[in-house]
């Protein structure tokens, strides 16, 4: 889960890494309270998406009236389609040079890695391709603590000597501690500015933390950092409803709603629908052993989404049992009397019981279940995908 820049900077500040003086603003009137000597300043859109600068979301202002004007403009704007709920206004810094510094997880070695680059700023990926010699890495085993010598080693390799070597080394150690403290997936300072007096300052902060570890970080909750965000951008209304109901949901632009069971088949279903000529409306994941409430809210989202023409469903019961799934589907259909067709398949653990539940409901009200098809084990899943595509195109049985 990605954090806003200002949240990341607060976490850096708490570890003793210098950041520019600044304030977070959601109301342009607040800008009038900034003293004249605060300027020149940077007005920075706070959005959970990259490329803010190139999209006009980061500007330098020389005085209060310009700050107010830009704050109003940015708060009303969208960055790559994402709303900007707040801006960060900071004292402008004049760095002599810009460095790159990050800590992340090396998923090939299964270790932590500190990356330092003597070429920071925008286009750092291009810089790393053109000048790989400017980037250096220090790996730490998962049970290893960061030691000052590691910071010195990295600073030395980046070409720093004398007092600067110690200053950079100190920031390296503190950044690693910040990363460990929040259980990060990524903590990146880009750029890390070198000021004329030799001091270092974090001019940006990008944190991505492990949502699964949030339960043991009350200090993050106090900062307003809770488990309800994408890696990039905020959630769409459907995605918010899904999050509130406790399942991941990604909005897509097709017309086949997918109710796929686990995440793995959810991803595969999007591929299969595409390969056989259709378009998926969403990705979602019930997780293991979902409650019937959760299953019904998953179906409710698809039923309520006007772009969805047909609901493709699949349950291969492992930890998630077919009988629970069938009960949820039956109750949902009885309560909502959907007009949209359901083209589904159910097999796996407790399949016989699940099928009995479906058949009994159907016998009671055949008309209601006329458009609800649930194929068994012997019908390969790709045949069910193909039928859903035909139905979405207005062909087929319904």
Partner 1 sequence: MAILIKKGTSTMVQGITGKNATTHTKFMLDYGTKIVAGTTPGKAGQSVHGVPVYDTVQEAMDNHPDIVVSSVWVPARATRDAVLETIEAGVRTIVVITETIPIHDMLLVRKRAKERGTTIVGGNTSGVISPGRSMVGMLPVRTFTPGRVGVVTRSGSLLYYVANYLDLAGMGESTAVGLGGDPVVGTNFEDILRMFESDPETDCVVMHGEIGGVLEEVAAPYIKQMRKPVIAYITGRFAPAGKRMGHAGALIEGDMGTAESKLKALRAGGAHIAETISDIPRLVKELT
The nearest distance, CB 276 to partner 1, in angstroms, is: 8
User: With CB under 8 A as the contact rule, which of the stretches 150-158, 240-248, 364-372, 374-382 interacts with partner 1?
Assistant: 374-382
Residue from the set 14, 21, 149, 267 that interacts with partner 1 by CB under 8 A: 267
Residue from the set 35, 37, 108, 218 that interacts with partner 1 by CB under 8 A: 108
The nearest distance, CB 180 to partner 1, in angstroms, is: 8
Handedness of CA 300, 305, 306, 311 (dihedral sign): negative
By CB under 8 A, residue 232 contacts partner 1:
yes
Site for partner 1 in 159-198 (CB under 8 A): 180, 183, 185-186, 188, 190
The DSSP letter of residue 235 is: -
Closer residue to partner 1 in complex, CB, 49/200 = 49
The nearest distance, CB 200 to partner 1, in angstroms, is: 19
Burial code (b: 16+ CB inside 10 Å, e: under 16) for 249-284 equals: bbbbebbbbbbbbbeebbeebbebbeeeebebbbbb
The nearest distance, CB 112 to partner 1, in angstroms, is: 8
Give the count of beta carbons closer than 10 Å to the beta carbon of residue 376: 11
Residue from the set 141, 356, 364, 395 that interacts with partner 1 by CB under 8 A: 141
Sheet holding 58-61, edge to edge: 22-25, 86-91, 41-46, 58-61
User: With CB under 8 A as the contact rule, which of the stretches 9-17, 20-28, 37-45, 257-265 interacts with partner 1?
Assistant: 257-265
By CB under 8 A, residue 206 contacts partner 1:
yes
User: With CB under 8 A as the contact rule, which of the stretches 59-67, 95-103, 333-341, 357-365 interacts with partner 1?
Assistant: 95-103
By CB under 8 A, residue 377 contacts partner 1:
yes
In angstroms, the CA 282 to CA 147 distance is 46
Which residues are paired to 314 by β-bridges? 345
Strand extents, DSSP E, 10-157:
22-25, 41-46, 58-61, 78-79, 82-83, 86-91, 97-106, 111-117, 135-140
By CB under 8 A, residue 244 contacts partner 1:
no
Residue from the set 36, 81, 94, 125 that interacts with partner 1 by CB under 8 A: 125
Q: CB neighbours of 245 closer than 8 A, spacing ≥ 6?
A: 293, 294, 297, 298, 301
By CB under 8 A, residue 143 contacts partner 1:
yes
Q: % helix / strand / coil in the chain, to the nearest 5?
A: 40, 25, 35
Closer residue to partner 1 in complex, CB, 132/198 = 132
Give the count of beta carbons closer than 10 Å to the beta carbon of residue 62: 11
> From residue 270 to residue 299, what is the string marking binding to partner 1 with x (rule CB under 8 A)?
xxx-xx-------x---xxx----------
Burial class (CB in 10 A: 0-12, 13-18, 19+), 53: middle
DSSP string, 143-200: TPPP-HHHHHHHHHHTT--HHHHHHHHHHHHHHHHHHHHHTEEEEEEEEEEE-TTS-E
Q: CB neighbours of 137 closer than 8 A, spacing ≥ 6?
A: 113, 114, 115, 116
User: With CB under 8 A as the contact rule, which of the stretches 24-32, 91-99, 161-169, 263-271 interacts with partner 1?
Assistant: 263-271
Site for partner 1 in 43-82 (CB under 8 A): 50
Residue from the set 230, 241, 294, 355 that interacts with partner 1 by CB under 8 A: 230
The nearest distance, CB 48 to partner 1, in angstroms, is: 10
> From residue 320 to residue 359, what is the string marking binding to partner 1 with x (rule CB under 8 A)?
-x-------------------------xxx-x--------
In angstroms, the CA 302 to CA 258 distance is 8
The nearest distance, CB 317 to partner 1, in angstroms, is: 6
């Amino acid at each position: 889960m990605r954090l806003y820049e200002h949240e990341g900077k607060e976490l850096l500040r708490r570890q003793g890494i210098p950041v520019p003086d600044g304030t977070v603003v959601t109301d342009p009137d607040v800008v009038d309270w900034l003293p004249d000597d605060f300027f020149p300043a940077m007005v920075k859109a706070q959005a959970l998406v990259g490329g803010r600068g190139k999209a006009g979301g980061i500007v330098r202002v020389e005085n209060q009236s310009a700050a107010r004007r830009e704050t109003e403009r940015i708060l009303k704007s969208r960055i790559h389609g994402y709303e900007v709920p707040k801006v960060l206004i900071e004292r402008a810094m004049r760095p002599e040079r810009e460095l790159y510094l990050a800590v992340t997880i090396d998923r090939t070695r299964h270790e932590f890695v500190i990356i330092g680059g003597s070429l920071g700023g925008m286009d750092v990926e291009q810089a790393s391709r053109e000048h790989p010699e400017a980037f250096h890495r220090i790996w730490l085993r998962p049970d290893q603590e960061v030691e000052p010598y590691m910071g010195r080693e990295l600073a030395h390799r980046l070409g720093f000597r004398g007092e600067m070597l110690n200053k950079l080394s100190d920031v390296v150690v503190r950044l690693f501690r910040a990363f460990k403290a929040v259980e990060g997936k990524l903590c990146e300072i880009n750029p890390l500015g070198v000021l004329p007096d030799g001091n270092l300052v974090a001019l940006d902060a990008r944190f991505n933390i492990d949502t699964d570890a949030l339960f043991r970080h009350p200090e993050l909750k106090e900062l307003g950092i809770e488990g309800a965000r994408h890696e990039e951008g905020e959630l769409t209304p459907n995605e918010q409803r899904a999050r509130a109901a406790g399942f991941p949901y990604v909005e897509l632009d097709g017309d086949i709603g997918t109710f796929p069971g686990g995440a793995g088949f959810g991803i595969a279903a999007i591929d299969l629908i595409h390969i056989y000529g259709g378009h998926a409306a969403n990705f979602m994941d019930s997780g293991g052993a979902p409650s019937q409430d959760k299953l019904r809210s998953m179906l409710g989202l698809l039923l309520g989404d006007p772009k969805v023409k047909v609901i493709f469903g699949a349950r291969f019961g492992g930890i998630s049992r077919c009988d629970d799934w069938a009960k949820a589907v039956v109750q949902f259909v009885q309560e909502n009397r959907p007009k949209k067709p359901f083209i589904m398949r159910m097999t796996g653990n407790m399949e016989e019981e699940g099928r009995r539940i479906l058949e009994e409901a159907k016998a009671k009200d055949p008309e209601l279940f006329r458009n609800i098809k649930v194929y068994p084990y012997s019908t390969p899943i790709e045949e069910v995908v193909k039928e859903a595509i035909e139905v979405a195109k207005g062909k087929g049985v319904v």
